[in-house]
Amino acid sequence: MPFKKINFEFIIIGFICICIGLFSFARYMGWLQNSGLLSTIARTVYGPDIRQEMARLKRAKDIAPGLPVVTALCYHEVTPDRENDCMNVKPEIFRRHIREFKEAGYVFIHVGDLQNYASGLAPLPAKALLISFDDGYADNYNYAYPVLREEQVPGTFFVVSSTIGKENRMTAAQLREMQANGMKIGSHTANHVNLTDMGANEIDFELRSSKETLEKILGKPVCALAYPGGKVNDTVSDKAKSCYEMAFVATVRPETKQTMYTLQRYGVFSWNEHIESIFKNR
Ligand SMILES: [Zn+2]
C-alpha cells in the first residue's frame, strides 16, 4: 500500500533527523569532548571543538583590555619513554596536538611576538597559540624540537640555567641550535626554587643570574621568564618586572585578571589525547 510505504519512509527520515539533532545538541553542549566513539565521530564531522577556549579569551579581553589575547600551553617532557609519568606527552601525541591546532585555525607564535605586540610593533593573530616547555629536558631537543621543525612551528623553551648540560637536560650547543632555527629560549630561574619562599636578594639572584647565563650562551636578550611551579606573589612579579618583559604562570584561571607578569598557561599532561581536553585543565 503506497500510504503505508510513505509513512514508513517518513518515520525513518524523522528518526534520522532527530538523531542528527540530538548529536549536534550534545556536541554543542560539550558533552562529546571526552575520548570515545561519539567524540571521534564528532571530531571527524565537525573538527576540534575549541569554543570553550574562545569564550575564555573573549572574557580575558574584557577583564584586561590591552593585554595579548593568546592561548599558551606548558609542556614538560616529550618522550616515547616514561610511560607512567603524567608530565610526559608522547611525541606522536605532541604532533597530533600541533596538527589539531592547525586544523582549528590557530597561528603559532613565540615570546618574541608577544614582546613585539606589547611594544606596539606588531598585532597578534586572532587565534594565537604559544607553545612552551618548562625545565629544559633533553627530550625537548630530541623529540619535540624535530616535530616543531617539521611542522614549522616556533616553540619557547624555559630553561633552568644551573642545569644546562647536566644529565637529562639540554646543552648550551643544543639551545644555540634551536635558537638559530626559530625557537625562543626563556628563563626558568637559576635553580628552580619556589620564589615565593625567598627573600628579595635571593629572588634577584635567581632572576638576574639565569638571564645573564642564558644571554651569554645565546648572544641575544632573554625577554621571558616562567616562574618555577608557576608560583608568584607581588614581590616576585615586581622583581620580574625589573629584568624581563613578561613572565608566565602554569595554570589558567579564567576569573583572574592577567598582567604581562602573570600570563596564564594551560599545563599539558599525558592524558590530553586531543586538544579539547587541554582546555579543561585547571
Ligand atoms: Zn619547572
Quote the ligand 1 centre to 52 CA distance (angstroms). 27
Ligand 1 center to 175 CA (angstroms): 17
Q: Using the mean position of ligand 1's atoms as its centre, give its distance from the Cα of residue 228 in Å.
A: 5
Spacing, Cα 117 to ligand 1 middle (Å): 26
Distance between CA atoms of residues 81 and 147, nearest Å: 17
Over residues 218-261, the pLDDT tens digits come to 999 999 999 999 999 999 999 999 999 999 999 999 888 899 99
List of domains in the chain: 50-278 (3.20.20.370)
Ligand 1 midpoint to CA 65 (Å): 29
Distance 255 CA to ligand 1 centre (A): 24
Q: Which of helix, strand or coil describes residue 11?
A: helix
Measure 41 CA to ligand 1 centroid, in angstroms.
37
Cα separations (Å) of 111 from 10, 55, 60, 68, 264?
Answer: 58, 23, 19, 11, 13
pLDDT at 138 over 90: yes
The CA 103 to ligand 1 mean position distance, Å, reads 29
In three-state secondary structure terms, 64 is: coil
Q: What is the mean pLDDT of the chain?
A: 92
State pTM to two decimals: 0.90
Cα separation, 163 vs 234, whole angstroms? 27
What pLDDT score was predicted for residue 35? 63
pLDDT at 36 over 70: yes
pLDDT band at 1 (very low <50, low <70, confident <90, very high): low
State the distance from the centre of ligand 1 to the C-alpha of 96, rounded, in angstroms: 24
Question: What single-letter DSSP state applies at residue 15?
Answer: H
- DSSP H helices in 105-199: 111-118, 138-139, 145-151, 172-180
pLDDT for residue 4 is more than 70: no
- Cα(212) to ligand 1 centroid in Å equals 19
Q: DSSP state, 78?
A: -
**Per-residue pLDDT for 125 more than 80?**
yes
**Rounded CA separation 99/140 (Å):** 18
